[in-house]
Amino acid sequence: MSKSSSSVTLGIIFGNWATLVGVGILVVFLVLSALAAWPVTYHLIARYSPDALNFGSSNAPPSLAHLFGTDAEGRDIFARVIAALPIDIVIPFEVVGASVGIGFLLGTFAGYLGGWVEELVLRVADLFFAFPSVVLALTISAILGATDEGLRVVFTELALIVVGWPFYTRLARAQVISLKQMPFVRAAEASGLGKLRIIRMHVIPHLASVVAVYATLDMGTTLLLYSVFAFFGLGVAPPTPELGRMVYDGLTALPGNWWWSFFPGLILMILALGFSLAGEGLRDVFDPRLRGQR
């Protein structure tokens, strides 16, 4: 049984070229960012230091020497893009991970326990859901980060988590409510298993696949959202390169030196596309109802 279902899974993943492309993009970028975090290999890939100023070759258009061109200070854009990858990839993982953790926990218990716990959690989630989340997060981050440049990225992540968790709470709760009606959970209850044990053994494994789908899709959205924060200077502190911020910096050079903003933006897009394609592929695997309906 499990053997045939896993071969079905593989069949879907490899039968669908879009999923394959998505997974491929993610693998390439994850490897690149892992290597980029390691100085030795970093210099092999990027060939230039991200911070090396070289006014002799400033504002150079894309060429073989400088794949993505250089900025006003002669820094190699390609090197800076590679250097920015670890941060831009880690942040969605942190933000979505924390949102999933909080939402999963609250939603599972709210759904399973019901009563006033559920009511309270849902109302609070609704409240957060109704806010214009991005503007709220931007404001939070700006207010708290106004005084300390180094803390801005932390506040930005916190802000993104604050607006991110309600979705997972609702998702987990809805799933638990429907799981509660399932015969195997009923049977577990009838056999006198404790609530915590039922949640751990029966509810969480079922929830995990659904949450994985949405978390992957959300990762792409969070990446783009974070890039907007970085665009407005609410990301990591300046000397560290950052894709969203590079786009903003490059705007000053328009219309001439378009490559300065364009390539960091393009890389963001490809990365977001990878998350979105991989997430849709996962959805096909875990949610057969939607298979082929996209």
Partner 1 sequence: MGLATYVARRALFSFFVIIGELLIIFYLTNIAAPDPAVIWAGPESTKAQVALVAQMYHLNSPWYVQFYYYMVNVFSGNWGISPLYQQPVISLIEEYLPVTLELTIIAFVFKIGLEMTLGVVSAMRPNGAVDNLIKVTYTTVRSAPPFLVALGLLLLFSYGTHTFPSSQPIDPILGATVPKFQFYNPIAGKVTGFWLVDNMPILNALLVGDWAAFSSAVSHAVLPVVTLILFGFGGIVRLVKVSMLEVLDQDYVRTARAKGLRENVVIFRHALRNSLLPAFTLIGLVFAGLVTGSLVVETIYGYYGLGYYVAESLLTFDTPSLIGTLILITVVIILSNLVVDIGYGFLDPRTRVGY
Q: Which of 209, 206, 118, 131 is nearest to 170 (CA)?
A: 118
Question: Is 164 a binder of partner 1 (CB under 8 A)?
Answer: no
Q: Contacts with partner 1 in 212-241 (CB under 8 A)?
A: 220, 224, 227-228, 231-234
Q: Using CA atoms, how far apart are residues 171 and 98, in angstroms rounded to an integer?
A: 15
Determine, following the binding rule CB under 8 A, whether residue 251 of this chain makes contact with partner 1: yes
Residues 38-97 interacting with partner 1 (rule: CB under 8 A): none
What is the DSSP code string of 152-165?
HHHHHHHHHHHHHH
Answer yes or no whether residue 114 interacts with partner 1 by CB under 8 A.
no
Q: Which of 28, 143, 187, 201: binder of partner 1 (CB under 8 A)?
A: 143
SS3 70: strand
As given in the structure block, the two tokens for residue 174 are 């809805």
8 A C-beta contact, residue 131 and residue 139: no
Residue from the set 24, 102, 154, 248 that interacts with partner 1 by CB under 8 A: 248
In the bound state with partner 1, the residue whose beta carbon lies nearer, of 113 and 134, is 134
Q: Binding residues for partner 1, how many (CB under 8 A)? A: 50
Token look-up 């053994």 returns: 201
Report angle CA 5, 271, 150 to the nearest 5 degrees.
120
Q: What are phi and psi of 254, to 5 degrees?
A: -70, 155
**Positions 252 through 271 that interact with partner 1 (CB under 8 A):** 254-255, 258, 261-262, 265-266, 268-270
Q: Which two tokens stand for residue 96?
A: 């979505």
Least separation in angstroms between residue 156's CB and partner 1 is: 11
23 binds partner 1 (CB under 8 A): no
Q: Of 35, 82, 138, 211, which lies in the binding site for partner 1, with binding defined by CB under 8 A?
A: 138
Q: Which is nearer to partner 1, 248 or 286 (CB)?
A: 248
| 76 three-class SS | strand
The answer to whether 142 contacts partner 1 (rule: CB under 8 A) is yes
Q: Show the tokens assigned to 165.
A: 């968790």
Give the span between the Cα atoms of 56 and 166, in whole angstroms.
51
Q: Using CB under 8 A as the criterion, which residues of the chain lie in contact with partner 1 when the complex forms?
A: 18, 126-127, 130-136, 138-140, 142-147, 220, 224, 227-228, 231-234, 244, 247-248, 251, 254-255, 258, 261-262, 265-266, 268-270, 272-273, 276-277, 280, 290, 292-294
